[in-house]
Structure 1
Amino acid sequence: MSSDQPGGGSPYDKPSGGQQPPPDQPPPGGPSGGGPSGGGPYGGGPYGAPPPPPGGQGGQGGFGRNPYEQNPYGQDPYGGGPGAPDPLAGMPPLAEAGKRVLARVIDIVIVLIPSFLLDWASVGVQDDHFTAGRSAVGGIFTAGIGFVYEFLMTRATGQTVGKRMMRLRAAMLDNGSVPTSNAAAIRAAVLWVPAFCCSCVWFLVIGVTVLVDRPYKQGIHDKAAKTVVVQTTT
């Protein structure tokens, strides 16, 4: 009996001494030895997905394009980073500062007329003539009437009388819709409740924040409610 061992054996036996499998028998798992597409015991993906094209996901002009490449405002107001769409895409232009100021002046006058009359009459008749009411009472009337006025009109159409005259509208920043009840309430409260004690100073602060804010021209009340004011044709 010959002592020679039969050659060949299994082509997948572990090679020893640095030997490699025969060239006509590739190692298991594909040419790269790590799986169907290499890079690990199961490869880069179980379905052999092709590598992404150059130039980032989707390539130049593809569906994976960063939406903020075309965002003229350059940032996401909610801090979502470069993955969220531009909130103002498809929205009308933001309102001009001058028109916003005029609209606010009109609304303040509308609120102050009944507030002043109620304040004036709150003490009643003294010495055969009306006397001005106490300033605290007038502040309560101003804050209360202003809140109700702003809330109801903003929730209904996004337009107060002043905004309608200036062809402006309050809108939700994320989708341009008429402000929700919660947003309208927050907006009205931040705008009018501080008018209880310091209406002149407070509205000046509101106006300054609208003028200096970038990129959405939001006053303090807009930021609190996540709204913007845009131009409209009606």
Structure 2
Amino acid sequence: MSFGDPNNPYGPPQGQQPGYPQAPQPGYGYPQGAPQGAPQGVPPQQPGYGYPQAPQGVPPQQGYGYPQQPGYPGGPAAPRPASMGRRFGARLIDGVAFAVIYFILGAIGIGGAVGAAQDCDPNAADYSTCINDASSNFAATFGAAIGMLAIVGLLYEWLMTGLVGATLGKLAVGIRVVKVDTGQKPGLGSSFIRWIIPQVGSFACGIGALLVFLSPFWDKSGRQQGWHDKAASTMVVQS
């Protein structure tokens, strides 16, 4: 009996060498033949247990649950930056409050100067001296009042922002100042830096301070930080 005998039903088909398995034919393992592009002679992959794998080059899909929001490390999601309209409104409220205080002090000083001048006798020989003394007293009193008001303004802006995170104007419009990296109150150090930069700019006829307050318009970080905010590592957000 020969393995190459065509009459042998147990031998290999004609044309095959004895001892070797039959080579797979095209479409092996596919019920309707191999699809176009499939490797010849390779059976299709059977799905296994577990979750299906994403095709190569396709980004993984997000799982169930709510998407993660950008925020502070170990804390809540970062709040939205405050709009320039709200910031302007806060400055306006604080400015009006201080303007009222300036007006009251000025009225008191002017009233005192006028009263002192009325006490001077126009017929007296020292009338000019009396008027000059009244003017000097008014200037000294008004200057001291302005200096005291400047100190109050420093303490108001510095302490309120550092310890509370907002002035009365900011609280009224619903915004506050926070540290960029933590979202917490700025503290006295950062608050002072944030306050002093516009004050230095105000010496140039107020133009420098105006540019500082307008600088958030040119910020490209998406946080609307002014130059004073960047120096102090702070930002203004909606409460």
**Normalization by structure 1: what TM-score?**
0.52
Which of 75, 78, 90 is matched with 1:103 structurally?
90
C-alpha contact 2:157 2:195 (8 A) present in aligned 1:
yes
The residue number in structure 1 matching 2:194 is: 187
Taking a change above 3 Å as real, the CA distance of residues 138 and 222 of structure 1, as seen in their structure-2 partners, is farther
Question: 2:212 maps to which residue?
Answer: 206
Query: Is this contact kept in 1: 2:198–2:213, CA < 8 A?
Result: no
Q: Tell me the distance in 1 between the aligned counterparts of 2:114 and 2:79.
A: 57
Structure number with higher helix proportion: 2
* Mapped pair 1:162 → 2:169: yes
Which segments of 5 or more consecutive residues in structure 2 lack a partner in the other structure? Answer: 1-58, 61-68, 118-134
- The one-letter code of the counterpart of 2:92 is V
Q: Secondary structure at the match of 2:228?
A: helix
Residues 147 and 98 of structure 1, relative CA distance in 2, 3 Å threshold: same
Report how far residue 169 of structure 1 moved.
0.6
Question: Match for 1:221 among 221, 228, 233?
Answer: 228
The answer (yes or no) to whether the contact 1:144–1:193 under 8 Å persists in 2 is no
Give structure 1 regions of 4+ aligned residues with deviation exceeding 3 angstroms: 115-124, 129-143, 191-199
Q: How far apart are 1:192 and its partner, in Å?
A: 4.1
Larger Rg: 2
Map 1:114-129 onto structure 2 (within 5 A). Answer: 114-119=101-106, 121=108, 125-128=112-115
Q: Is the 8 A contact 1:147 1:193 kept in 2?
A: no
Q: Distance in 1 between matches of 2:217 and 2:97?
A: 23
Equivalent residues in 2 for 1:18-29, closer than 5 Å: none
| Equivalent residue number for residue 64 of structure 2 | none
Matches of 2:102 and 2:191, distance apart in 1: 21
Deviation digits for residues 49-88 of structure 1 (CA, Å, limit 9, x no counterpart) = xxxxxxxxxxx88xxxxxxxx98xxxxxxxxxxxxx99x9
CA distance in 2, matches of 1:207, 1:162: 15
Identity of aligned residues (%): 31
Q: CA deviation at 1:124?
A: 7.0
Distance 1:191 1:109, change over 3 A: farther
Q: Give the corresponding residue for 2:79.
A: 92
Cα deviations across residues 202-233 of structure 1 (Å, max 9, x unaligned)? Answer: 4422332122222221222212211000011x
Corresponding residue of 2:238:
231
CA contact (8 A) 2:177 2:236 kept: yes
User: Mean Cα displacement is larger for which, 130-139 or 177-186?
Assistant: 130-139
How far residue 90 of structure 1 moved from its aligned partner, in angstroms, is 2.2
Matched AA of 1:114: I
| Aligned mates of 1:124, 1:192 — CA distance in 2 | 30
Question: Where do 5+ consecutive residues of structure 1 fail to align?
Answer: 1-59, 62-69, 72-84
Residue aligned with 1:125, SS = helix
Tell me if the contact between 2:178 and 2:184 (Cα under 8 Å) persists in the aligned partners: yes
Equivalents in 2 of 1:192, 1:226: separation in Å? 18
**What is the one-letter code of the residue matched to 1:212?**
W
SS, match of residue 220 in structure 2: coil
State TM-score, norm by structure 2: 0.51
User: Amino acid of the residue matched to residue 213 of structure 1?
Assistant: D
